[in-house]
Structure 1
Amino acid sequence: MAQIHAPGVYIEEATVAMHRIAAVPTSIAAFVGYTGQGITDQAIAIQGMLEFEREFGGLHADSPLSYAVSQFFANGGSHAWIVRVTDANGGRGGAEQLVGNEQDKSGLYALLACDQFNLLLIPETFDMLGGEEARVISAAVALCEAKRAFYIVDAPANRTLADISPWAHGISQSRNAVTYFPPVRVPDPNAAGQPRSLAPSGTLAGVYARTDSNHGVWKAPAGADAQLLGVVDLALALNDMQNGQINPQAINVLRTFPAFGHVAWGARTLKGSDAQADEYKYIPVRRLALFIEESLYRGTQWVVFEHSNEALWAQLRLSVGAFMLALFRQGAFQGKTPEQAYFVKCDEQNHSGQDRERGVVSINIGFAALKPGEFVMLNIQQMTIAAKV
């Protein structure tokens, strides 16, 4: 406290206790599939192609995953988890091995041991031409919805312009999933540089990572900036009319333009068809919501040791409000003012007496993702020490 000896104005700095909420990563990619070597059914973290070559043997002709990983890093990716999956003889497995078992954390469930991943890729569904991909995609979608992750679905290679939309609608209509058409073609070092058709997920995951780094997760990974690096051709050249046939059906098209080269030319989730009119129609809106949810979930864990009362709610409003304000200043939301862009509500009105008895703390957050006045609603809950009202 300042020492007062004479009349005048005295200034004393006060420290306001606030739990700061850290922004979580947005583009850690998880790959599941066969590789030429390495530990099986265990998630291994890598940060570049050199590490992948050391741990898993590099590009392998029978490993779609290896080419997807290469494209991920070539397009801007920096962090990945690799889950190597094999059959009983150590060779490439099928849908059963890819899905694995949740109890023993095999197959894609090996990712349950990871602290966090944001993007999921299973490139081997590209080679599943008889319908067996449905089992893999269903399990992968469920895992992503549980882990607040985003699944880039690779359609089988035999899908055509005529049937890609009905296939996608039948396979999943998840807000946490997306698919692209047509496949990409890249030079294959294992075939003297001849073009090889690939599942596009690895390339697009790299584009997501590059876009997140340059602009933020709220920017659509599409358009002139979303160039598909390392791609020499697309399996099918689509024109504007063909693009217009499948884009409204939530199929994201890959296009080639003289001025831009090969680019991603769509940004819809599998819940993004015009007929559904879902609030998470667009990839950046859904990924921004997942980012906010995960950041707030992790950043409010301290609440579980507190009593649910006005003092706690005020701290939460301060912490969450500061986090949302920082995003607003970075351009994450629509609106000219914070009041137009987002709101944070955590007070007596959204805490009933029963909630307080049970120790439930609710934080209601809204943000203007599309245009001012249209709010995407989120609700974050934490369990605290049950408090008597």
Structure 2
Amino acid sequence: MSRELLSSKIVVEEEEPRVRGIPSAPTSVAGAVGLAERGPIGQAVLCTSFEEYQATFGGFTPDSDLALAAMGFFEQGGSHLWVVRTAHYEDASDPESHTATRAAAALTTGGGPTPAIVRGTLRPPFTLADDQRLEVSVNSAEAVDVVFSGAAASVAAGRPGPYALTAGQALRVRVDDGRDVFIPFHEGDFDDMGQATAQEVAAVINAGLIGGRATVADGVLRIASDTQGASSRLEVGDEVAGTVFGFPGGPQVGSGNVQSLRAVELAEVRALVEAAVAGVRVAPSSLGALQLLTQSTGPGATLRVQGDAGPGLGLDALPHTGDASGATDVLHLEAKDTGAYANRLEVEVRPSTNSAPDTFDVLILEDGAYRESFPNLSSSEDDARYVERVLNDERTGSSYVQAFMVQPDALPDVQTVALSGGEDGLVGLGDADFIGSEAGRTGLYALDEVQELSLLLVPGRATPATHNAMVRYCEVARDGLAFAILDSPAGYSTTDIVSYVSQDASLEGLSEHAALYWPRVKVLNPARSVFGNVEQLVVPPSGIIAGVFARNDGARPGGVYDAPAGIEAGRMFGVLGFESKETLEEKKRDVVYPHRINPLTTGPGLPRFIDGSRTLKASGNFPFVAERRGVSFIERSLKTGLQFARHRNNTEGLRAQVRRSIAAFLLAQMRNGAFRSMEPAKAFFVDVSDALNPPSVIFAGKLVARIGLATNKPAEFIVLRVSQDTRALEAELASAGL
């Protein structure tokens, strides 16, 4: 900003740059969904090495290709792999409905009187309804009510219908922790769009909204979250919401004494029951189910739980009494992660190392081998070595188990207990468990939070439903900025894979945002104790292919523009052979390649390599793998780098700055080999002219730029034309005048 100078001096003034630098987006951040030995379910976790993968998700398992794919990805040169562990879900839209369970056990003490106990049969989370209650009677006293409540966040339109809508308008809705969803209105959805009824609008909203629902009462439109409880959130906002419907602005919040009635946690039950009912404790059983215990012990201790919330919590309505003597649970232990792996764990209790009174040592064993030791623990919450505090510490606690005190201040006997009841949740496993749900953020949609995702694989789940869902996720959910690597189904011959692509899965011609590779490959058996005493394993190649992509991307600036195929760029390290020997025959490869299937092969003196660079769609704008991925890289980089222009006044100066910034970025990409020409005028063009930005576009709040790219095409076929050299004969004839 200029200012009046009152005396002679040197003044430094900073000006906004005329050209903004656009940073390059990452190109080989991969996401994989599959089965794992352990680890969180339905959460994307970043692994930057195979050792990191093993630390979180465990080792190899006979029913999963995910660990093998992760190993192949990192061996080829990959460095960023987001992993999502899945299991069977009873309802994919409910992330808590997976059927995997944690192994558990209980440390006990014996000989003394026991409390009255009501043992539940269900593990949390629990599903309840609003205003359901428990009626808890302790030691024959009058029953005390414990009420569970939860109301959904909702919002009502400020005026009844009809509503004056115009084509192209959209209503922005955000439910709970989900993304903004824009519900578009089209003329075909209404008898008269200018007089749209509340019922018609509700039908359109319900067709496009996940996790919430629109209803109509007394002619007034209302939208509510499906979640009932304090965690429920709903926001309906933008100009259309306010001016057309009269929805109030700002987020609406649910209410209740639990976060969600569809997923009530044991800690919530404990807090409500123990606050309302004197003389009762709530704790998990040795199998992780809910149980209620009296603080008093012996035959005089009685406990009865009735009420309509009891069945939902797995509690019976029978009277229970304590005993004069018997074993009592002191400390509940459960595995850190769900899965059958934890059934191999044991917990040993020994007398304290320092022989201090009222303390004990806890040791963790896996397959009979000692893994962890925690000395001098106490059952007193006031002690610095309180067993819950030590074992559950996120940084220094156990990597295998977590502990919950059941009987305060009681000491466990010297004993060794084995964890049991862990399940991987594989019964009933289907495509839907890998595909997942956008509302529940399960399966593929658990990767929504990974903003830089550029590669997608589901190792070993080569089915039509999964493959089509992967393509749809990359093209629609990720706006075409991610690329799916599809495996061939196991055991497929040349004719099998052609039939699969062209008919069974209808992949041929489907999308340029995916490529399929055939056949599966052979690698050295990394774990004979898991896979048996065989030298080699047949594995799906997607993890290896993704690693090859990553290696090429990082080989040089602009590596993403190089086709990941051929004996150099397409070389697959560690691959020992192929599931089908047909891929070694050129005539067989000539059968699959026209169907957009990329064969993996080798030849005399050659490495095993990728022998194809085609996407599934020949008629797309960018039908080759490197071409499509290169354009996606440019699009992602521009999308991020042009954020500076949002919400600024749409002037000629801004448009010129946008044009120069795009051109400068594309010039750098040209020098990195992105285009067919090294002359800017032939390599690309950028148009932000007035013709693209007339007043109608500017008044609509838009700035339009048109970009043309002369992308590279790979040399798929090398044609050698060989003929007899007759130049000397022709010269002799010419000299003779013939």
Provide the TM-score with structure 1 as the length reference: 0.86
Deviation per CA, 1:309-357, whole angstroms, max 9, x where unpaired?
Answer: 2111101011111100010111111113111111111121211321111
Q: Which residue matches 2:110?
A: none
Q: Which residue matches 2:562?
A: 219
Deviation per CA, 1:213-269, whole angstroms, max 9, x where unpaired?
Answer: 114111000001111111111112321111112112101010112332100000000
Moved more, 207-216 or 191-200: 191-200
Counterpart of 1:108 (choices 430, 433, 444) is: 444
Q: Which residue matches 1:315?
A: 657
Moved more, 234-243 or 112-121: 234-243
Q: Which residue matches 1:78?
A: 79
Alpha carbons of 1:13 and 1:43: their partners in 2 closer, same or farther (altered >3 Å)?
closer
Specify the code of the residue in structure 2 equivalent to 1:24: A
What secondary structure sits across from 1:308 in the alignment? coil
Establish whether residue 152 from structure 1 lines up as the match of residue 503 from structure 2. no
Q: Distance in 2 between matches of 1:86 and 1:262?
A: 34
Q: Percent identity?
A: 34
Counterparts of residues 12-161 of structure 1 (less than 5 Å): 16-87=17-88, 88-89=99-100, 90-92=424-426, 93-126=429-462, 133-146=463-476, 147=478, 148-161=481-494
Q: In the TM superposition, what is the alpha-carbon distance from 1:18 to its structure 2 partner? A: 2.8
Deviation per CA, 1:52-71, whole angstroms, max 9, x where unpaired?
Answer: 01000022222101101100
Deviation per CA, 1:359-385, whole angstroms, max 9, x where unpaired?
Answer: 1111111111137xxxxxxxxxxxxxx
Establish whether residue 210 from structure 1 lines up as the match of residue 211 from structure 2. no
Q: Which residue matches 1:169?
A: 502
Specify the code of the residue in structure 1 equivalent to 2:516: T
What secondary structure sits across from 1:350 in the alignment? coil
Specify the code of the residue in structure 1 equivalent to 2:22: I
Q: Which residue matches 2:636?
A: 294
Asked whether the equivalents of residues 125 and 155 of structure 1 are also in contact (C-alpha less than 8 Å), the reply is: no
Deviation per CA, 1:83-105, whole angstroms, max 9, x where unpaired?
Answer: 00012133343212111111010
Deviation per CA, 1:170-219, whole angstroms, max 9, x where unpaired?
Answer: 42221101001111011122224621111111110011111111141110
Alpha carbons of 1:182 and 1:302: their partners in 2 closer, same or farther (altered >3 Å)?
same
Q: How many residues align?
A: 351
Give the number of the structure whose residues are more often strand, by fraction: 2
What secondary structure sits across from 1:296 in the alignment? helix
Counterpart of 1:254 (choices 592, 600, 607) is: 600
Q: In the TM superposition, what is the alpha-carbon distance from 1:13 to its structure 2 partner? A: 11
What secondary structure sits across from 1:356 in the alignment? helix
- Structure 1 segments, 4+ long, off by >6 Å, are 12-15
Counterparts of residues 266-281 of structure 1 (less than 5 Å): 266-272=612-618, 276=619, 278-281=620-623
Q: Structure 2: 5+ residue runs without aligned partners?
A: 3-12, 89-98, 101-423, 714-738
Q: What is the Cα-based RMSD across aligned positions, in Å?
A: 1.9
Asked whether the equivalents of residues 43 and 111 of structure 1 are also in contact (C-alpha less than 8 Å), the reply is: yes
Provide the TM-score with structure 2 as the length reference: 0.46
What secondary structure sits across from 1:266 in the alignment? coil
Asked whether the equivalents of residues 207 and 228 of structure 1 are also in contact (C-alpha less than 8 Å), the reply is: yes
What secondary structure sits across from 1:97 in the alignment? helix
Specify the code of the residue in structure 2 equivalent to 1:299: G
Asked whether the equivalents of residues 44 and 82 of structure 2 are also in contact (C-alpha less than 8 Å), the reply is: yes
Specify the code of the residue in structure 2 equivalent to 1:285: E
Counterpart of 2:573 (choices 229, 242, 247) is: 229
Counterpart of 2:522 (choices 176, 185, 188) is: 185
Counterpart of 1:335 (choices 661, 677, 681) is: 677
Quick check: which has more Rg, 1 or 2? 2
Q: Distance in 2 between matches of 1:367 and 1:231?
A: 36
Q: Distance in 1 between matches of 2:24 and 2:712?
A: 21
What secondary structure sits across from 2:461 in the alignment? helix
